[in-house]
Structure 1
């Protein structure tokens, strides 16, 4: 059973989310929070598997609440918002969110997303992924002449097979799809992914995707 805490300040929206999640036989809504501070309090008290977190909430915004929940390893966080602006995406991902969906997501896709993130995977709405990639490229192109900025992160600590695994993760492939591509077992893929995260000091696959683009390992045309 996946234990979920729903954090959303609009009561009608929160009720709708709870209703959708409770319709799934393998999901249990263990708590509801109307603001970010309450979300953190309940996460510490209830220790859910996942927090479904709205971005804009009173007292403490969802990004700050995500940073605390993820930083204290209280639960995985799936951010759900009406906004797809880049600053929200980046802030939520760097705060430690494992998934990011827009509120117009379909009922079945929301339930699927909760299952995916609770299983230790990461998930981004397609529109979010495209904006993320486009913005990374734009930042490089608009860098002022003569200003190098920080060097791209190195992947030297990774083996050749781990680099290839990271490339496939950045393309959005699941562990099963990576296993078929590399002709190895899914268990081996999980080991490679774990090694990549550990060696690069990353929290999850979302941060791995960001690192792949930042390092130049993957470019938009290679998707």
Structure 2
């Protein structure tokens, strides 16, 4: 668990990458601090509100960057996907199931399956694992 006086985004992200189970700011009251320590001892992951906000922002930026990188790589590879297909591709790379992609994009699971079928045709692939591998290769190009 990390305890810090100021909110330093780089320090927070670094702590997460090295496996921190908690990241708290020193402005916590004593009883809150003790409660957080107990939670970490019980294998809970604990972040103060400000740290949670920073992590959420970081995740959203990372998601946006993946979309932008994939979009650019597709253009450079002369492959065309619609904006919605790119959204689905990014979520597939993140490991989301069709059901969870549908929930995330407020579409039906059947609609997601139709989009994925179209993506399979564009890439000439009929296997989800191979398709995700292609997406990862495109993401790694940049």
Band the TM-score falls in, shorter-chain normalisation: 0.3 to 0.5
Larger strand fraction of residues: 1
- TM score, norm. by length of structure 2: 0.48
Structure number, greater radius of gyration:
2
By relative contact order (CA 8 Å, sep 6+), the higher-ranking structure is 2
Larger helix fraction of residues: 2
